Amino acid sequence: MITDEKILFDDAFLKEIQDKFYYVHEDYLGRKRQFFENSGGSLRLKAAVEEKARLEKIPDCPERIHDTSMMLKQVKADGMRDIMQVIFGAKSGALVTELTSSQVMFQIVSDVINLPAGATPIDFAYSIHSAIGNSMVGATVNGRIVNFDYVLQNGDIVDIRTSKNAPGPSRDWLNLAKSGAARTKIKQWFKKERREENIVHGKEQFERELRANGIAPADIMGDEILPLILKRLAFTSLDDLYAAIGYGGVTATRTVNRIRDEILRNQKANQKNAIDRINEAAERRNKRARHAVHGILVEGLDNCLIKFSRCCTPVPGDGIIGFITRGAGVSIHRTDCENYLASRDNPETAGRWIRVSWAERTTDSYSTTLMLLSAQRSGLVMDVATALNTLNAKVRTLTARDVDSGRSTITITVEVHDLAELRTIISRLSAIRGVIRISRSGASDPAKAAAHTAELQAEQEKKAKQEGKA
Protein backbone atom coordinates (compact mmCIF):
# COMPACT_ATOMS: atom_id res chain seq x y z
CA MET A 1 0.00 0.00 0.00
CA ILE A 2 1.49 3.31 -1.16
CA THR A 3 0.46 6.82 -0.03
CA ASP A 4 2.31 10.07 -0.79
CA GLU A 5 5.08 8.04 -2.38
CA LYS A 6 5.68 6.26 0.93
CA ILE A 7 5.33 2.55 1.45
CA LEU A 8 3.30 1.76 4.61
CA PHE A 9 3.36 -2.02 4.16
CA ASP A 10 5.52 -3.97 1.78
CA ASP A 11 4.02 -6.50 -0.63
CA ALA A 12 5.20 -9.49 1.36
CA PHE A 13 3.45 -8.29 4.52
CA LEU A 14 0.27 -7.44 2.62
CA LYS A 15 0.24 -10.90 1.04
CA GLU A 16 0.65 -12.47 4.46
CA ILE A 17 -2.36 -10.54 5.74
CA GLN A 18 -4.39 -11.37 2.65
CA ASP A 19 -3.56 -15.08 3.03
CA LYS A 20 -4.78 -15.10 6.64
CA PHE A 21 -7.92 -12.91 6.41
CA TYR A 22 -10.99 -12.62 4.13
CA TYR A 23 -11.93 -9.44 2.23
CA VAL A 24 -8.74 -7.42 2.88
CA HIS A 25 -8.55 -5.50 -0.45
CA GLU A 26 -12.27 -5.60 -1.30
CA ASP A 27 -15.53 -6.00 0.59
CA TYR A 28 -18.19 -8.72 0.27
CA LEU A 29 -19.81 -6.90 -2.68
CA GLY A 30 -16.54 -6.72 -4.59
CA ARG A 31 -15.90 -3.02 -4.01
CA LYS A 32 -12.24 -2.03 -3.68
CA ARG A 33 -11.12 -0.80 -0.27
CA GLN A 34 -9.46 2.61 0.01
CA PHE A 35 -8.68 1.84 3.64
CA PHE A 36 -10.01 -0.54 6.31
CA GLU A 37 -12.04 0.70 9.26
CA ASN A 38 -13.35 -1.56 12.00
CA SER A 39 -16.64 0.11 12.99
CA GLY A 40 -18.55 -2.18 10.64
CA GLY A 41 -17.06 -5.36 12.00
CA SER A 42 -13.66 -7.02 12.27
CA LEU A 43 -11.78 -8.99 9.64
CA ARG A 44 -12.53 -12.69 9.52
CA LEU A 45 -9.56 -14.96 10.19
CA LYS A 46 -9.58 -17.78 7.62
CA ALA A 47 -8.22 -20.34 10.06
CA ALA A 48 -10.96 -19.46 12.58
CA VAL A 49 -13.70 -19.83 9.98
CA GLU A 50 -12.32 -23.16 8.81
CA GLU A 51 -11.94 -24.49 12.36
CA LYS A 52 -15.49 -23.42 13.22
CA ALA A 53 -16.80 -25.18 10.10
CA ARG A 54 -14.90 -28.35 11.04
CA LEU A 55 -16.36 -28.42 14.54
CA GLU A 56 -19.89 -27.67 13.34
CA LYS A 57 -19.75 -30.68 11.01
CA ILE A 58 -19.38 -33.04 13.97
CA PRO A 59 -22.83 -34.69 14.47
CA ASP A 60 -22.85 -34.92 18.22
CA CYS A 61 -24.26 -33.34 21.34
CA PRO A 62 -21.72 -31.78 23.71
CA GLU A 63 -24.03 -32.54 26.66
CA ARG A 64 -23.37 -36.28 26.40
CA ILE A 65 -20.53 -38.16 28.07
CA HIS A 66 -18.14 -39.83 25.60
CA ASP A 67 -14.92 -38.99 23.75
CA THR A 68 -16.42 -36.75 21.07
CA SER A 69 -18.54 -34.71 23.47
CA MET A 70 -15.64 -34.35 25.89
CA MET A 71 -13.49 -33.05 23.05
CA LEU A 72 -16.14 -30.46 22.13
CA LYS A 73 -16.41 -29.34 25.75
CA GLN A 74 -12.64 -28.96 25.96
CA VAL A 75 -12.56 -26.86 22.77
CA LYS A 76 -15.18 -24.53 24.28
CA ALA A 77 -13.34 -24.30 27.61
CA ASP A 78 -10.00 -23.58 25.90
CA GLY A 79 -11.62 -20.90 23.76
CA MET A 80 -13.17 -19.13 26.77
CA ARG A 81 -9.83 -19.25 28.61
CA ASP A 82 -7.93 -17.87 25.62
CA ILE A 83 -10.44 -15.03 25.16
CA MET A 84 -10.18 -14.04 28.81
CA GLN A 85 -6.42 -14.43 29.22
CA VAL A 86 -4.94 -13.81 25.76
CA ILE A 87 -7.30 -11.24 24.28
CA PHE A 88 -8.48 -9.40 27.42
CA GLY A 89 -5.51 -10.20 29.67
CA ALA A 90 -7.89 -10.97 32.53
CA LYS A 91 -7.12 -13.62 35.14
CA SER A 92 -10.75 -13.89 36.26
CA GLY A 93 -14.23 -12.48 35.58
CA ALA A 94 -17.35 -13.22 33.55
CA LEU A 95 -17.73 -13.24 29.81
CA VAL A 96 -21.04 -11.84 28.53
CA THR A 97 -22.04 -13.65 25.35
CA GLU A 98 -24.72 -12.99 22.75
CA LEU A 99 -23.93 -9.25 22.85
CA THR A 100 -21.51 -7.15 20.84
CA SER A 101 -18.99 -5.03 22.66
CA SER A 102 -21.01 -1.94 21.80
CA GLN A 103 -24.19 -3.50 23.20
CA VAL A 104 -22.44 -4.43 26.42
CA MET A 105 -21.01 -0.96 26.79
CA PHE A 106 -24.30 0.84 26.23
CA GLN A 107 -26.44 -1.54 28.25
CA ILE A 108 -24.14 -1.77 31.26
CA VAL A 109 -22.96 1.83 31.34
CA SER A 110 -25.90 4.07 30.46
CA ASP A 111 -28.60 2.54 28.34
CA VAL A 112 -32.17 3.81 28.25
CA ILE A 113 -34.31 0.75 28.83
CA ASN A 114 -38.06 0.48 28.27
CA LEU A 115 -39.83 -1.49 31.00
CA PRO A 116 -43.52 -2.13 31.78
CA ALA A 117 -45.36 -0.07 34.39
CA GLY A 118 -44.57 -1.17 37.93
CA ALA A 119 -41.19 -2.63 36.91
CA THR A 120 -38.60 -3.30 39.59
CA PRO A 121 -34.79 -3.55 39.64
CA ILE A 122 -35.29 -7.26 38.90
CA ASP A 123 -36.86 -6.43 35.53
CA PHE A 124 -34.02 -3.99 34.81
CA ALA A 125 -31.29 -6.54 35.61
CA TYR A 126 -32.78 -9.26 33.40
CA SER A 127 -33.40 -6.80 30.56
CA ILE A 128 -29.62 -6.35 30.38
CA HIS A 129 -28.73 -10.06 30.44
CA SER A 130 -29.71 -13.28 32.17
CA ALA A 131 -26.27 -13.49 33.79
CA ILE A 132 -26.75 -10.03 35.31
CA GLY A 133 -30.13 -10.95 36.79
CA ASN A 134 -29.02 -14.35 38.12
CA SER A 135 -25.96 -12.86 39.86
CA MET A 136 -27.69 -9.73 41.23
CA VAL A 137 -27.20 -9.11 44.97
CA GLY A 138 -28.34 -5.48 45.23
CA ALA A 139 -29.45 -2.36 43.41
CA THR A 140 -29.13 1.40 43.72
CA VAL A 141 -31.47 3.92 42.13
CA ASN A 142 -30.22 7.49 41.71
CA GLY A 143 -27.33 6.65 44.05
CA ARG A 144 -29.57 5.28 46.83
CA ILE A 145 -29.78 1.61 47.85
CA VAL A 146 -33.28 0.22 47.26
CA ASN A 147 -35.11 -3.04 47.86
CA PHE A 148 -35.87 -5.40 45.01
CA ASP A 149 -39.57 -4.48 45.17
CA TYR A 150 -38.83 -0.78 44.50
CA VAL A 151 -41.05 0.51 41.67
CA LEU A 152 -38.91 2.23 39.05
CA GLN A 153 -39.89 5.66 37.72
CA ASN A 154 -39.18 7.37 34.41
CA GLY A 155 -35.68 8.84 34.37
CA ASP A 156 -34.31 6.67 37.23
CA ILE A 157 -30.63 5.81 36.98
CA VAL A 158 -30.27 2.19 38.05
CA ASP A 159 -27.07 0.45 39.07
CA ILE A 160 -27.13 -3.35 39.54
CA ARG A 161 -24.60 -4.90 41.93
CA THR A 162 -23.60 -8.47 41.10
CA SER A 163 -21.47 -11.15 42.72
CA LYS A 164 -20.00 -14.39 41.43
CA ASN A 165 -21.02 -15.92 44.77
CA ALA A 166 -24.67 -14.82 44.42
CA PRO A 167 -27.16 -17.56 45.42
CA GLY A 168 -29.30 -16.89 42.36
CA PRO A 169 -32.87 -15.60 42.11
CA SER A 170 -35.46 -16.13 44.83
CA ARG A 171 -38.92 -17.53 44.15
CA ASP A 172 -40.32 -14.24 45.43
CA TRP A 173 -38.81 -12.60 42.38
CA LEU A 174 -41.50 -14.24 40.21
CA ASN A 175 -44.07 -12.09 42.02
CA LEU A 176 -41.91 -8.96 42.00
CA ALA A 177 -40.99 -9.09 38.30
CA LYS A 178 -43.50 -7.39 36.00
CA SER A 179 -42.06 -8.25 32.59
CA GLY A 180 -42.72 -11.62 30.99
CA ALA A 181 -39.10 -11.83 29.84
CA ALA A 182 -37.78 -11.52 33.40
CA ARG A 183 -40.17 -14.15 34.76
CA THR A 184 -39.26 -16.52 31.93
CA LYS A 185 -35.54 -16.18 32.66
CA ILE A 186 -36.11 -16.75 36.38
CA LYS A 187 -38.16 -19.89 35.64
CA GLN A 188 -35.41 -21.14 33.34
CA TRP A 189 -32.86 -20.71 36.13
CA PHE A 190 -34.97 -22.65 38.62
CA LYS A 191 -35.65 -25.36 36.04
CA LYS A 192 -31.93 -25.86 35.47
CA GLU A 193 -30.41 -25.24 38.90
CA ARG A 194 -32.97 -26.26 41.55
CA ARG A 195 -34.74 -29.41 40.43
CA GLU A 196 -34.88 -31.05 43.88
CA GLU A 197 -36.12 -27.85 45.46
CA ASN A 198 -38.66 -27.49 42.64
CA ILE A 199 -39.99 -30.99 43.30
CA VAL A 200 -40.56 -30.27 47.01
CA HIS A 201 -42.08 -26.86 46.36
CA GLY A 202 -44.23 -28.11 43.48
CA LYS A 203 -45.55 -31.07 45.48
CA GLU A 204 -46.69 -28.72 48.25
CA GLN A 205 -48.57 -26.49 45.79
CA PHE A 206 -50.06 -29.46 43.95
CA GLU A 207 -51.42 -31.24 47.03
CA ARG A 208 -52.73 -27.97 48.49
CA GLU A 209 -54.66 -27.29 45.27
CA LEU A 210 -56.02 -30.86 45.22
CA ARG A 211 -57.44 -30.50 48.73
CA ALA A 212 -58.95 -27.13 47.84
CA ASN A 213 -60.89 -28.94 45.09
CA GLY A 214 -62.06 -31.73 47.38
CA ILE A 215 -59.65 -34.34 45.96
CA ALA A 216 -57.54 -36.45 48.32
CA PRO A 217 -53.97 -36.86 46.95
CA ALA A 218 -54.16 -40.61 47.61
CA ASP A 219 -57.17 -40.89 45.28
CA ILE A 220 -55.09 -40.16 42.17
CA MET A 221 -51.96 -42.14 43.01
CA GLY A 222 -53.28 -45.52 41.91
CA ASP A 223 -52.19 -47.36 38.79
CA GLU A 224 -55.56 -46.70 37.20
CA ILE A 225 -55.63 -42.89 37.27
CA LEU A 226 -52.04 -41.58 37.66
CA PRO A 227 -50.62 -42.89 34.32
CA LEU A 228 -53.59 -41.40 32.45
CA ILE A 229 -53.12 -38.04 34.16
CA LEU A 230 -49.37 -37.90 33.43
CA LYS A 231 -50.01 -38.83 29.80
CA ARG A 232 -52.68 -36.13 29.41
CA LEU A 233 -50.31 -33.53 30.90
CA ALA A 234 -47.30 -34.73 28.82
CA PHE A 235 -45.08 -35.70 31.79
CA THR A 236 -43.11 -38.93 32.11
CA SER A 237 -43.08 -39.05 35.91
CA LEU A 238 -44.72 -37.47 38.94
CA ASP A 239 -41.44 -35.77 39.88
CA ASP A 240 -41.36 -34.08 36.47
CA LEU A 241 -44.86 -32.73 37.15
CA TYR A 242 -43.83 -31.50 40.60
CA ALA A 243 -40.69 -29.86 39.17
CA ALA A 244 -42.67 -28.06 36.46
CA ILE A 245 -45.09 -26.66 39.04
CA GLY A 246 -42.17 -25.73 41.31
CA TYR A 247 -40.32 -23.61 38.76
CA GLY A 248 -43.51 -22.13 37.30
CA GLY A 249 -43.67 -24.00 34.00
CA VAL A 250 -47.30 -24.92 34.76
CA THR A 251 -49.64 -23.77 37.50
CA ALA A 252 -51.06 -26.03 40.17
CA THR A 253 -54.55 -24.66 39.47
CA ARG A 254 -54.48 -25.54 35.77
CA THR A 255 -53.01 -28.97 36.52
CA VAL A 256 -55.69 -29.84 39.10
CA ASN A 257 -58.44 -28.65 36.74
CA ARG A 258 -57.16 -31.11 34.12
CA ILE A 259 -57.02 -33.85 36.76
CA ARG A 260 -60.59 -33.14 37.89
CA ASP A 261 -61.80 -33.46 34.29
CA GLU A 262 -59.93 -36.75 33.94
CA ILE A 263 -61.47 -38.12 37.16
CA LEU A 264 -64.98 -37.22 35.93
CA ARG A 265 -64.26 -38.85 32.56
CA ASN A 266 -63.02 -41.98 34.36
CA GLN A 267 -66.10 -42.09 36.59
CA LYS A 268 -68.40 -41.97 33.55
CA ALA A 269 -66.44 -44.82 31.97
CA ASN A 270 -66.75 -46.86 35.17
CA GLN A 271 -70.52 -46.25 35.26
CA LYS A 272 -70.85 -47.49 31.69
CA ASN A 273 -68.77 -50.55 32.51
CA ALA A 274 -70.97 -51.26 35.55
CA ILE A 275 -74.10 -51.19 33.37
CA ASP A 276 -72.40 -53.47 30.85
CA ARG A 277 -71.56 -55.94 33.62
CA ILE A 278 -75.17 -55.85 34.83
CA ASN A 279 -76.42 -56.64 31.35
CA GLU A 280 -73.89 -59.41 30.81
CA ALA A 281 -74.86 -61.09 34.09
CA ALA A 282 -78.56 -60.85 33.24
CA GLU A 283 -77.89 -62.11 29.74
CA ARG A 284 -76.13 -65.20 31.06
CA ARG A 285 -78.96 -65.80 33.53
CA ASN A 286 -81.74 -65.48 30.97
CA LYS A 287 -80.02 -66.95 27.92
CA ARG A 288 -81.77 -70.31 28.11
CA ALA A 289 -85.12 -69.01 29.40
CA ARG A 290 -85.94 -66.61 26.58
CA HIS A 291 -88.10 -67.61 23.64
CA ALA A 292 -90.47 -65.98 21.18
CA VAL A 293 -93.70 -66.00 23.23
CA HIS A 294 -95.57 -62.73 23.61
CA GLY A 295 -97.42 -63.87 26.71
CA ILE A 296 -100.60 -61.99 25.75
CA LEU A 297 -104.14 -63.40 25.14
CA VAL A 298 -106.43 -61.18 23.05
CA GLU A 299 -110.17 -61.67 23.48
CA GLY A 300 -111.74 -62.87 20.26
CA LEU A 301 -108.53 -62.79 18.20
CA ASP A 302 -105.87 -65.38 17.42
CA ASN A 303 -102.34 -64.93 16.08
CA CYS A 304 -102.61 -61.16 15.84
CA LEU A 305 -99.62 -58.84 15.92
CA ILE A 306 -98.79 -57.69 19.47
CA LYS A 307 -96.66 -54.73 20.53
CA PHE A 308 -96.15 -53.16 23.95
CA SER A 309 -96.73 -49.42 24.24
CA ARG A 310 -93.77 -47.21 25.03
CA CYS A 311 -95.88 -44.75 26.99
CA CYS A 312 -96.50 -47.08 29.96
CA THR A 313 -94.35 -50.24 29.36
CA PRO A 314 -96.53 -52.95 30.99
CA VAL A 315 -95.11 -56.15 32.53
CA PRO A 316 -96.84 -59.41 33.63
CA GLY A 317 -98.91 -58.72 36.75
CA ASP A 318 -100.01 -55.26 35.57
CA GLY A 319 -103.64 -54.68 34.65
CA ILE A 320 -103.61 -54.36 30.88
CA ILE A 321 -105.89 -53.28 28.02
CA GLY A 322 -105.43 -53.55 24.24
CA PHE A 323 -105.85 -50.91 21.56
CA ILE A 324 -106.45 -51.95 17.96
CA THR A 325 -104.12 -49.93 15.73
CA ARG A 326 -104.70 -49.73 11.98
CA GLY A 327 -102.23 -52.00 10.22
CA ALA A 328 -100.12 -52.57 13.35
CA GLY A 329 -102.07 -55.13 15.37
CA VAL A 330 -102.87 -54.62 19.06
CA SER A 331 -100.96 -52.20 21.28
CA ILE A 332 -100.81 -53.25 24.96
CA HIS A 333 -101.27 -50.54 27.65
CA ARG A 334 -101.47 -50.61 31.43
CA THR A 335 -104.90 -49.90 32.82
CA ASP A 336 -103.47 -46.92 34.71
CA CYS A 337 -101.91 -45.48 31.55
CA GLU A 338 -102.58 -41.78 31.05
CA ASN A 339 -103.27 -42.26 27.33
CA TYR A 340 -105.82 -45.02 27.96
CA LEU A 341 -107.70 -43.18 30.70
CA ALA A 342 -107.81 -40.03 28.58
CA SER A 343 -109.24 -41.73 25.47
CA ARG A 344 -111.38 -44.67 26.69
CA ASP A 345 -114.55 -42.53 26.79
CA ASN A 346 -113.80 -40.76 23.50
CA PRO A 347 -116.49 -41.89 21.00
CA GLU A 348 -113.94 -41.89 18.19
CA THR A 349 -111.60 -44.36 19.92
CA ALA A 350 -113.75 -46.13 22.53
CA GLY A 351 -114.63 -48.96 20.16
CA ARG A 352 -110.98 -49.76 19.45
CA TRP A 353 -110.15 -50.72 23.05
CA ILE A 354 -110.21 -54.51 23.53
CA ARG A 355 -109.83 -56.82 26.49
CA VAL A 356 -106.49 -58.62 26.82
CA SER A 357 -104.86 -60.72 29.51
CA TRP A 358 -101.54 -62.28 30.41
CA ALA A 359 -100.95 -65.92 29.64
CA GLU A 360 -100.63 -68.15 32.67
CA ARG A 361 -97.05 -69.02 31.88
CA THR A 362 -94.50 -66.90 30.09
CA THR A 363 -90.71 -66.85 30.20
CA ASP A 364 -90.34 -63.66 28.19
CA SER A 365 -88.75 -60.57 29.62
CA TYR A 366 -90.40 -57.16 29.24
CA SER A 367 -88.96 -53.66 29.13
CA THR A 368 -90.34 -51.07 31.51
CA THR A 369 -89.22 -47.63 32.56
CA LEU A 370 -88.71 -46.20 36.06
CA MET A 371 -88.19 -42.55 37.00
CA LEU A 372 -86.18 -41.91 40.15
CA LEU A 373 -86.18 -38.52 41.93
CA SER A 374 -83.35 -37.90 44.41
CA ALA A 375 -81.41 -35.19 46.16
CA GLN A 376 -78.23 -34.24 44.29
CA ARG A 377 -75.13 -35.95 45.63
CA SER A 378 -71.86 -37.43 44.43
CA GLY A 379 -71.86 -41.16 43.69
CA LEU A 380 -75.66 -41.46 43.25
CA VAL A 381 -75.48 -43.04 39.78
CA MET A 382 -72.85 -45.53 40.93
CA ASP A 383 -75.02 -46.55 43.90
CA VAL A 384 -77.99 -47.12 41.56
CA ALA A 385 -75.86 -49.20 39.19
CA THR A 386 -74.50 -51.27 42.09
CA ALA A 387 -78.02 -51.99 43.42
CA LEU A 388 -79.17 -53.13 39.97
CA ASN A 389 -76.12 -55.33 39.59
CA THR A 390 -76.81 -56.97 42.96
CA LEU A 391 -80.27 -57.92 41.69
CA ASN A 392 -78.91 -59.15 38.33
CA ALA A 393 -81.26 -56.73 36.65
CA LYS A 394 -80.85 -56.28 32.91
CA VAL A 395 -80.49 -52.57 32.24
CA ARG A 396 -81.20 -51.28 28.74
CA THR A 397 -80.66 -47.56 29.42
CA LEU A 398 -79.71 -45.39 32.38
CA THR A 399 -79.62 -41.60 32.14
CA ALA A 400 -79.22 -38.98 34.83
CA ARG A 401 -79.60 -35.19 34.93
CA ASP A 402 -79.74 -32.45 37.53
CA VAL A 403 -82.93 -30.43 37.96
CA ASP A 404 -83.81 -27.35 39.97
CA SER A 405 -83.77 -27.12 43.78
CA GLY A 406 -80.75 -29.39 44.24
CA ARG A 407 -82.44 -32.53 42.88
CA SER A 408 -81.52 -35.11 40.29
CA THR A 409 -83.58 -37.46 38.14
CA ILE A 410 -82.50 -40.85 36.88
CA THR A 411 -84.46 -42.64 34.14
CA ILE A 412 -83.90 -46.41 34.03
CA THR A 413 -85.21 -48.88 31.46
CA VAL A 414 -84.94 -52.47 32.71
CA GLU A 415 -86.14 -55.84 31.53
CA VAL A 416 -88.14 -57.94 34.03
CA HIS A 417 -90.22 -61.11 33.90
CA ASP A 418 -93.16 -59.90 35.98
CA LEU A 419 -94.46 -57.25 38.35
CA ALA A 420 -93.04 -59.00 41.40
CA GLU A 421 -89.50 -58.72 40.01
CA LEU A 422 -90.11 -55.05 39.21
CA ARG A 423 -91.34 -54.34 42.73
CA THR A 424 -88.19 -55.92 44.15
CA ILE A 425 -86.09 -53.56 42.03
CA ILE A 426 -88.17 -50.55 43.13
CA SER A 427 -87.83 -51.58 46.77
CA ARG A 428 -84.06 -51.91 46.50
CA LEU A 429 -83.67 -48.55 44.71
CA SER A 430 -85.95 -46.82 47.26
CA ALA A 431 -83.49 -47.77 50.02
CA ILE A 432 -80.65 -45.78 48.40
CA ARG A 433 -79.62 -42.67 50.37
CA GLY A 434 -81.22 -39.50 49.02
CA VAL A 435 -83.96 -41.17 46.92
CA ILE A 436 -87.24 -39.24 47.27
CA ARG A 437 -89.62 -41.02 44.90
CA ILE A 438 -89.72 -43.76 42.25
CA SER A 439 -92.51 -43.84 39.68
CA ARG A 440 -93.27 -45.75 36.49
CA SER A 441 -93.66 -44.11 33.12
CA GLY A 442 -97.15 -43.30 31.88
CA ALA A 443 -98.85 -43.64 35.30
CA SER A 444 -102.01 -41.58 35.81
CA ASP A 445 -103.74 -40.53 39.03
CA PRO A 446 -103.29 -43.52 41.39
CA ALA A 447 -106.84 -43.42 42.81
CA LYS A 448 -108.51 -43.27 39.39
CA ALA A 449 -106.22 -45.92 38.01
CA ALA A 450 -106.83 -48.27 40.96
CA ALA A 451 -110.61 -47.90 40.68
CA HIS A 452 -110.61 -48.61 36.99
CA THR A 453 -108.29 -51.59 37.36
CA ALA A 454 -110.57 -53.08 40.02
CA GLU A 455 -113.53 -52.58 37.70
CA LEU A 456 -111.86 -54.47 34.88
CA GLN A 457 -110.75 -57.28 37.14
CA ALA A 458 -114.27 -57.71 38.45
CA GLU A 459 -115.63 -57.94 34.92
CA GLN A 460 -113.01 -60.52 33.98
CA GLU A 461 -113.75 -62.64 37.05
CA LYS A 462 -117.50 -62.50 36.32
CA LYS A 463 -116.91 -63.63 32.77
CA ALA A 464 -114.67 -66.47 33.88
CA LYS A 465 -117.36 -67.79 36.24
CA GLN A 466 -119.94 -67.71 33.52
CA GLU A 467 -117.66 -69.62 31.18
CA GLY A 468 -117.03 -72.17 33.91
CA LYS A 469 -120.75 -72.82 34.45
CA ALA A 470 -121.29 -73.25 30.74
Q: Over the stretch 303-318, which tens digit does the pLDDT of each residue have?
A: 778 888 888 888 888 8
More confident residue, 43 or 1: 43
- Mean pLDDT across 212-229: 74
Predicted confidence (pLDDT) at residue 64 exceeds the cutoff of 70: no
- Structure confidence at residue 287 (pLDDT): 44
pLDDT-derived band of residue 169, with 50, 70 and 90 as boundaries? confident
More confident residue, 396 or 38: 396
Q: In terms of residue numbers, what domain contains 405?
A: 366-449
More confident residue, 94 or 66: 66
pLDDT-derived band of residue 325, with 50, 70 and 90 as boundaries? confident
Are 130 and 165 in the same domain? yes
Number of domains into which the chain is organized: 5
Are 134 and 214 in the same domain? no
Are 217 and 261 in the same domain? yes
Are 256 and 214 in the same domain? yes
Closest CA to 344 of 459, 464, 448: 448
DSSP per residue, 100-162: -HHHHHHHHHH------TT--HHHHHHHH-HHHHHTEEEEEETTEEE-TTPPP-TT--EEEEE
Domain stop point among 192, 227, 247: 192
Does a structural domain hold residue 260? yes
Predicted confidence (pLDDT) at residue 6 exceeds the cutoff of 60: no
More confident residue, 342 or 6: 342
Are 318 and 308 in the same domain? yes
Does a structural domain hold residue 14? yes
Cβ contacts of residue 25 below 8 Å, gap of 6+?
18, 32, 33
More confident residue, 286 or 389: 389
- Structure confidence at residue 151 (pLDDT): 92
CB 41 within 8 A of CB 31: no
pLDDT-derived band of residue 84, with 50, 70 and 90 as boundaries? confident
- Structure confidence at residue 147 (pLDDT): 92
- Considering all CA atoms of the chain, what is the largest pairwise distance in Å, rounded to the nearest integer? 154
Q: Over the stretch 9-56, which tens digit does the pLDDT of each residue have?
A: 678 887 888 888 888 777 777 777 766 555 445 678 888 888 888 888
β pairing state of 136-141 and 158-162: antiparallel
Does a structural domain hold residue 273? no
Does a structural domain hold residue 89? no
Are 311 and 254 in the same domain? no
Task: Work out the mean pLDDT of the chain and round it to a whole number.
Answer: 77
Q: Is the pTM of this model over 0.85?
A: no
Does a structural domain hold residue 282? no
Predicted confidence (pLDDT) at residue 367 exceeds the cutoff of 80: yes
What is each CA distance from 256 to 205, 211, 235, 421, in whole angstroms?
A: 10, 10, 14, 44
Are 110 and 182 in the same domain? yes
Predicted confidence (pLDDT) at residue 104 exceeds the cutoff of 60: no
| C-alpha torsion sign, points 249, 253, 257, 259 | positive
CATH assignment at residue 130? 3.10.20.30
CB 416 within 8 A of CB 315: yes
Predicted confidence (pLDDT) at residue 111 exceeds the cutoff of 60: no
pLDDT-derived band of residue 146, with 50, 70 and 90 as boundaries? very high
Does a structural domain hold residue 455? no
- Structure confidence at residue 149 (pLDDT): 92
Give the CA angle between residues 36, 38, 41 to the nearest 5°: 115
CB atoms under 10 Å from CB of 242, counted, come to 23
Q: How far is CA 231 from the centre of its chain?
A: 10
- Mean pLDDT across 221-245: 76
Are 377 and 444 in the same domain? yes
Are 370 and 416 in the same domain? yes
- Structure confidence at residue 150 (pLDDT): 93
CATH assignment at residue 410? 3.30.70.260
Does a structural domain hold residue 64? no
- Mean pLDDT across 152-178: 86
Least confident of 59-63, 64-68, 425-429: 59-63
Are 171 and 206 in the same domain? no
Are 311 and 241 in the same domain? no
Cβ contacts of residue 63 below 8 Å, gap of 6+?
69
Are 134 and 165 in the same domain? yes
Does a structural domain hold residue 187? yes
What is each CA distance from 344 to 249, 313, 332, 338, in whole angstroms?
A: 71, 18, 14, 10
